[in-house]
Amino acid sequence: MAEIVLDGITKRYPDGALAVSDFNLSIADGEFVILVGPSGCGKSTTLNMIAGLEDITEGTLRIDGQVVNDRAPKDRDIAMVFQSYALYPHMNVRDNMGFALRLAKTDKAVINTKVEEAARILDLTQHLDRKPANLSGGQRQRVAMGRAIVRDPKAFLMDEPLSNLDAKLRVQMRTQIAALQRRLGTTTVYVTHDQVEAMTLGDRVVVMRGGLVQQVGTPQYLYDAPVNLFVAGFIGSPGMNFLGATLEHNLLRTSLGDLPVDDRLRRLLEQQDAPRELIVGIRPEDFEDAALIDDQPTGITCTATVEVRESVGSDVFVHFTEEGGPAGSAELAELAADSGRADTGMQGHQVVARLSPATRAAEGEPLELWIDTGRIHVFDPAGGANLTHPERAGA
Amino acid sequence: MMSHRGRTLTGWGVVNLIVVLYALFPVWWIVALSFKDPSTLSDGDFIPRKWTWANYRGIFQTSEFTRALINSIGIAVIATTIAVVLGTMAAYAVARLRFPGKRLLIGMSLLIAMFPPISLVSPLFNIERVLGIFDTWPGLIIPYMTFSLPLAIYTLSAFFREIPWDLEKAAKVDGATAAQAFRLVIAPLAAPGVFTTGILVFIFCWNDFLFAISLTSTTAARTVPAAIAFFTGSSQFQQPTGSIAAAAVVITVPIVIFVLLFQRRIVAGLTAGAVKG
C-alpha cells in the first residue's frame, strides 16, 4: 500500500504525438481513483506509465515516496489487471495466480496458502486446477483479479477490467471490485471509458480528454459542478442537454423559452466578460412535467411535442426535438462522436427530460415542461468553460 | 432413390477417392518398384509378382547410401536448428518491435525466398571453392539455412503476432525480466509454431537436390537425394532402378510418419493463439 504521486507526467511519442500532457495528481494511500475519458484521451497511457510499461517523457512519478521513473515494472511492486485479462493460457488457475510469487522465489507453502486464500475470497477454489480456456468470462476476470491480490502489492492498476463482460455480470463485478478494494485498502488506479463505472466506483474521478486532465473530483462534485462542456456532457447518463442561447438584458433566450438571469448569474457573467452567444446546459432531471409542479420557485415552463417516451419504472424519459438546432462547439462534436450520437442520423437536436412516473406524457402529444432554472449551467462556446462553476464565483 | 444427403456423401466420396488415388499413385508406384525382383523390374505390373527385400538389403550393404543418410540427417538437423533459432529471434523482433529498416528486412527476406536458387548455384560454387567449404557440411548448411530463414521468419512472426501483447506486459508487471517473460510465457505459447516451422524447414533441407548435387563432389557431404543419382546397378548391365526406388522409400517414409504423427500438433499450431474468448 502506498501513495502515488504524478508530478507533471508527460508522454510524447517519437513521432511527436503528445499522448499525455502535464498530468498532476496525488493519489492517497488506499484511495480508489478512476481515470475516465473517451478512447485516445491518454488514460491507458497514463496507467501504463505508472506500471512502467511505457517510458515517461517528462515529469516524476513517485510510488511510496520513491521516484520510480526509471524502474522496470518488476521493481515497482504494482499489480495490473488487463482488459483482456492476459491470463497465461498454458498455466492453470493456481499457477496463473502464483506466477508473480514464484518469480519472487517465495516459499512454495506460502504461495499455496496465499493462492488458496485469494481463491476463497474470489470463489475460485473449485477451479484452481483448470486452464483459463475452460473458464467463463466472469471466472477469467476473477482469476485476473486474484493474480493481482495474491501479491499484496503497493497498488492495483486496472485497465478497463470489466469491458469484456456482459452487462449484468459487469454490474455484479463492479460491486465486487468496490467491496474488495475497501476490504484490502490497496491504492487503486482504475481506467475506464464508462462514466457509470467511474461514478459508482471511485473515491475520486479524473476526467481526461486529448491527453489533458479536464477535472479531478469526487463523482458528485463532477456531476454538480463540471468545469467545462466536456465534463458536463461526459458525466451523467443520459447526458446533459445543451442549448444555444443568446444573452439579452436579464434573459437567456433559448428555443425552449427565455431563462431569467438572476443577480448571481448576471454578476458571474459580467465578471467573466461573457459573450452574448452562450450554451446553456440542463440536466434531464432538471425538467419536470409542469402539471406535477405545485409551486414553481425558480422555473419557467415551455411546451414541446413528445417524440419518444421511455419508462424505466422509477422514471420516465421523454425525448423531444429542440427547434433551435444544436449548440455549436468542438467539445460537443467530440462528445457526440465518442458516444456514437453523431452516427444515429437523427435530424435536429434531441433533448431528454427525466420526469416523475406520475407524468401523463404521451408520444406525439404536446407536453408542458417545467425547467428548474436555478440549476442550469452556462458555458462559453469558445473553450467550453463553465461560467457558472462555483469556483469561478470568486474569480 | 437416394436421399439428397446420401447423394452428397457419395459425391464427396468419389471426389475424395479420385484425389487420393491421384496423389498416391506415384508413391505406390515407387514402393512397388522397390519390392520388385530385378528380373521383373520392367514388367509394368502394378503389384510386384515376386516380392523381395533385395533392393533394401542392397543399398544398406555399401557405404554409399548409409554415408549419404548420415550426411542428410546431420546437415538437415543442424541447418533446421540454426534456422529456427535465428528465425525465432528475427520473427519476434518483426512481430513485436518497431525498429528502423523493419520493412526493408521483411522485403529482403521475401526477395531471398523468391530468388530462383538455380541462378545462385554457379556463384555459390565459386565462392565455396575459394572459401574451402565446397563439398563439406557447412557448405550445404549455410545455403539451406539462408534459403529457409525467410520461411521460418514468415511462419513464426505469424505465430508471435497471435500471442497477445498483454501477456508479456502481465509477465513484466508480475515481476519477470524480459528474458523470463520470453522463456516462461512467450516461448511455451510459441512452441507449436516453432515446431511447425522446424518441420517445414527440415523437409525443405531434407528434400533439396539442387544444392546437394551442385555443391558436393564426393561422399563427404553428399546427401541422399544427390547420392541416389550416383547409384549404379550391381553389374554394369543392370539398371539401378530397384535401388533408387528403395532409397527413395527409405528417405520418404520417416517424413511421412513424422508429419502424420504430428499433424494434429501442426494444425493446432497453425490455429494457436485463441486465448481470448
Option in A73, A89, A133 nearest B172 (CB): A73
Say whether residue B97 is in contact with chain A using an 8 A CB cutoff: no
- Judge contact between A97 and A132, C-beta under 8 A: no
Please judge whether B164 and A84 are an interchain contact, meaning their C-beta atoms are less than 8 angstroms apart.
yes
Taking only the tens place, the pLDDT of each residue in A281-292 is 999 999 998 888
Q: In percent, how much of chain B has pLDDT > 70?
A: 92
Q: What is the pTM of this model?
A: 0.78
- What's the mean pLDDT in A61-86? 92
According to the model, what pLDDT value does residue B179 have? Answer: 86
Query: CA–CA separation, A219 vs A201, rounded Å?
Result: 9
Q: What is the mean pLDDT of residues B216-235?
A: 84
Q: How confident is the model at residue A346 (pLDDT cuts 50, 70, 90)?
A: very low
Q: How far apart are CA A133 and CA A211, in angstroms?
A: 36
Chain B residues within 8 A of A80 when measuring between CB atoms: 169-170, 173
Between vectors from CA A164 to CA A120 and to CA A48, what angle results, nearest 5°? 85
Chain A residues closer than 8 Å to B167 by CB? 86, 88
- The pLDDT assigned to B183 comes to 87
Reply yes or no on whether the pLDDT at A28 is more than 80. Answer: yes
The shortest C-alpha distance from A100 to chain B (Å) reads 5
Cα A299 from Cα A301, distance rounded (Å): 7
pLDDT of B2 > 70? The answer is no
Cβ contact, residue pair B166, A133, below 8 Å: no
Per the prediction, chain B carries an average pLDDT of: 85
Contacts of B184 in chain A (CB under 8 A): 99
Residue A393 pLDDT greater than 80, yes or no: no
Element (H, E) at B106: helix B102-114
pLDDT confidence bin for A100, thresholds 50/70/90:
very high
Q: Nearest-CA residue of chain A relative to B175?
A: A74
Cβ contact, residue pair B175, A74, below 8 Å: yes
Residue that has been written with the C-alpha cell 508471435 in this structure: B160
A79 touches chain B (CB under 8 A): yes
- Tens of pLDDT, residue by residue over B147-197, are 999 988 888 888 888 888 889 899 999 999 988 998 898 888 888 788 888
Beta strands A78-81 and A287-289 are: unpaired
> Distance (Å, rounded) from C-alpha B213 to C-alpha B217?
8
Chain A residues inside the 8 Å CB shell of B173: 51-53, 73-74, 78-80, 157
- CA geometry: angle at A330 spanning A325 and A336, to 5°? 65
A78 reaches B (C-beta below 8 A):
yes
Mean per-residue pLDDT for B217-224?
90
Cell numbers linked to A129: 486446477
Q: A336 pLDDT exceeds 70?
A: no
Stated length of chain B:
277
Cβ(B33)–Cβ(B248) under 8 Å? Answer: no
Interchain contact A178–B (C-beta under 8 A): no
Which chain B residue's Cα is nearest to A50?
B173
How many A-B residue pairs are in contact by the CB < 8 A criterion? 70
> Do the chains contact at A86 and B167, CB–CB below 8 Å?
yes
pLDDT above 90 (res B62):
no
**In which band, very low, low, confident or very high, does the pLDDT at B109 lie, cut at 50, 70 and 90?**
confident
**Cβ distance B173 to B165 under 8 Å?**
no
